[in-house]
Amino acid sequence: MLYKPFKDLSLSALGFGAMRLPVLNGNEAEIDEEETARMVDYAMRAGINYFDTAWGYHSENSETVMGKILKNYPRDSFYLATKFPGYDIKNLSRMEEIFSRQMEKLQTDYFDFYLVHNVCEVNIEYYLKPDLVDFLLKKKAEGKIRHLGFSIHGDINIMKSFLEAFGDVMEFGQIQLNWFDWSFQDAKAKVELLREYNIPFLVMEPLRGGKLASLPAEAESRLRELRADETIPAWSFRYLQGFEEAVVILSGMSDMSQLDANCKTFETFAPTSESENTVLYEIADSLRTGVPCTACRYCTKSCPAKLDIPRLLYLYNEFTFTDGGFLAKLALSAVDKDKQPSACIGCRRCIDLCPQMISIPEVLKEFAEKVAE
Ligand code: SF4
Ligand code: SF4
């Protein structure tokens, strides 16, 4: 297992994400505890020492199951991470209750890593109030949190405002980073911003929920020409090995074969080269769905409904790539009703202004219909 330094710690470069554990009867709330215990044991023996869970994973059962399993190992033999579920703003009035319950569920009296969970458009207004971060800093002063950080699914502007407020007390960030999202979700801007703040990061969604684990035949054969023995999922991990500040790459593994394959990948340091990254980015371009909006914003000046057209088109692209997914819907839920795709009045004033010749009203109409479904 490869290890990366974080302050005075040595963290396994591959982290065990407890958000897609094996389940029984196809029910995500019913974790297969026996199989999960076998996987944790295998992970420990393979050298993984970072375990990441959260209040909301597996319908609030992930922390309980991980607590039961991890109590069988010396507490100082692993690093435990969980998160405060402020993505649901109702939870912000239950900080003490939720934090105490997390300690009970995880059967611990301290968390090595604790994150403000999912900073995004829906909750930024509430997260920017000092209440939660002040509460967590108090827990840190009491020794119940060793390292405080945040995870983010919001866009770069959300991240900027969060860091402007709390960049001085955040010790790490957790971002969605992979070769597809480098430009698709502008992960590049997030990496650069964290570099400005000198904040190391953990990576989530290295395979974008499995979407990058297999590729169209033509793309796979391009990659095989470059590295005959590398598996397709391993390409994503090799790409991330190229980021020096990426401390832990979290993978939500659902079975032993995925865990075994990922552990093998992390036995060697073989980051992709610049020319290999160019190929990955070309493949990413070929996988893109949706519309080629470049966010030039020429169209917005003429819109009588004052819609943030490029933002809506960005969410449309996310929505179509993930077959609905959750990110686009979540971000859209933070958009005012009169600024939703359905608010387009079809005046067509924007069309002639778009250098990419995107049929904006038709796309927004389709988006509104799909979201309504
Ligand atoms: S067609 Fe829709 S998006 Fe385009 S300018 Fe008119 S209201 Fe705005
Ligand atoms: S003019 Fe076209 S490319 Fe530019 S932001 Fe508007 S939709 Fe996107």
The CATH number assigned to the domain holding 94 equals: 3.20.20.100
Produce one character per residue of 305-318: b if its CB has 16 or more CB atoms within 10 Å, e if not.
bebebbbbbbbbbb
Residue 115 lies in a domain: yes
Alpha carbons 134 and 299: distance in angstroms, whole number: 42
Residue 288 lies in a domain: no
Bridge partners, residue 147, by sequence = 113
Same domain, 262 and 311: no
Same domain, 171 and 265: yes
Q: What is the pLDDT of residue 176?
A: 92
Q: Ligand 2: distance of its center to the CA of 152 in Å?
A: 26
Bridge partners, residue 204, by sequence = 176
Same domain, 113 and 32: yes
Is any atom of ligand 2 closer than 6 Å to the C-beta of 363? no
Is any atom of ligand 2 closer than 6 Å to the C-beta of 361? no
Residue 173 main-chain phi, psi, to 5 deg? -125, 155
- Ligand 1 atom having least distance to the Cα of 347: 6
Same domain, 266 and 347: no
Same domain, 116 and 260: yes
Altogether, the residues listed in the chain come to a count of: 373
Nearest CA to ligand 2 atom 1: 354
Same domain, 121 and 182: yes
Q: Ligand 2: distance of its center to the CA of 330 in Å?
A: 23
Alpha carbons 42 and 36: distance in angstroms, whole number: 10
Q: What is the pLDDT of residue 294?
A: 77
What is the residue-wise DSSP string for 51-93? Answer: EE--TTHHHHTHHHHHHHHHTTS-GGGSEEEEEE-TTSGGGGG
Q: Ligand 1: distance of its center to the CA of 351 in Å?
A: 8
Q: What is the pLDDT of residue 122?
A: 80
Same domain, 223 and 344: no
Same domain, 266 and 306: no
Q: Ligand 1: distance of its center to the CA of 347 in Å?
A: 5
Q: Ligand 2: distance of its center to the CA of 356 in Å?
A: 7
Q: At what angle do helices 309-321 and 360-372 cross, to 10 degrees?
A: 50
Domain count for the chain: 2
Same domain, 240 and 313: no
Contact residues for 372 (Cβ-Cβ < 8 A; gap 6+)? 342
**Cα within 13 Å of Cα(321), Cβ side:** 25
What is the residue-wise DSSP string for 354-365? Answer: -TT---HHHHHH
Same domain, 96 and 154: yes
Q: Ligand 2: distance of its center to the CA of 294 in Å?
A: 6
What sign does the dihedral 137-143-147-151 (CA atoms) show? negative
- Ligand 1 atom having least distance to the Cα of 305: 7
- Domain encompassing residue 52: 3-281
Q: Which two structure tokens, joined as six digits, stand for 210?
A: 């499995």
Alpha carbons 162 and 156: distance in angstroms, whole number: 10
Q: What is the pLDDT of residue 328?
A: 87
- Ligand 1 atom having least distance to the Cα of 309: 3
Q: Element (H or E) spanning 204, and its range?
A: strand 201-204
Q: What is the pLDDT of residue 287?
A: 86
Q: Which two structure tokens, joined as six digits, stand for 49?
A: 């020492």
Residue 154 lies in a domain: yes
- For strands 172-176 and 79-84, give the pairing: unpaired
Q: Which of 345, 219, 347, 354 is nearest to 291 (CA)?
A: 354
Bridge partners, residue 79, by sequence = 50
Alpha carbons 215 and 219: distance in angstroms, whole number: 6
Residue list, ligand 1 pocket, CB within 6 Å: 302-305, 307, 309, 344-350, 360-361, 364
Q: Ligand 2: distance of its center to the CA of 196 in Å?
A: 29
Same domain, 261 and 149: yes
- Ligand 1 atom having least distance to the Cα of 348: 1
Contact 191, 177 (CB under 8 A): yes
Which of the ligands is closest to the CA of residue 340? 1
Residue 287 lies in a domain: no
Judged by DSSP in three states, 10 sits in strand
Nearest CA to ligand 2 atom 3: 293
Alpha carbons 187 and 175: distance in angstroms, whole number: 8
The pick from 300, 313, 340, 350 for probing ligand 1's pocket by mutation, whose C-beta has the most ligand atoms within 8 angstroms, reads 350
Which of 239, 256, 281 is the C-terminal boundary of a domain? 281
Q: Ligand 2: distance of its center to the CA of 27 in Å?
A: 42
Question: Which stretches of the chain score pLDDT less than 70?
Answer: none
Same domain, 162 and 66: yes
